[in-house]
Structure 1
């Protein structure tokens, strides 16, 4: 039961991080023009790996 809850939580967090990354895309484009980068991809990749490890 705890494993299913853990997996479901990771899946939800992964989906929310993808959605947040999409919503932050205009800000990322602007900061990229200034020379800065937003490391949102790191969060998405970490959550993706964690979710895949639960299966």
Structure 2
């Protein structure tokens, strides 16, 4: 039962980070092109994806 809740929570968290990454894309492009700053949103998405995939094992 707790495994299902954990899997669902991680899936929701991963989906939320993907949505945040998509919505921040224009800001990230501006920051990179105009200010020379890289926003590491991809690391957050990759970390949540790995955590979600680990629950399937």
What's the TM-score, normalizing by structure 1? 0.97
CA RMSD of aligned residues (A): 0.4
**Cα offsets for 1:1-55 (capped at 9, x unmatched):** 0000000000000000000000001100000011101010010000000000000
If asked which structure has higher relative contact order (CA below 8 Å, sep 6+), I would say 1
Stretches of structure 1 lacking an aligned partner (at least 5 in a row): none
What's the TM-score, normalizing by structure 2? 0.94
Stretches of structure 2 lacking an aligned partner (at least 5 in a row): none
**Count, aligned residues:** 55
Structure 1 runs (4+) deviating above 6 angstroms are: none
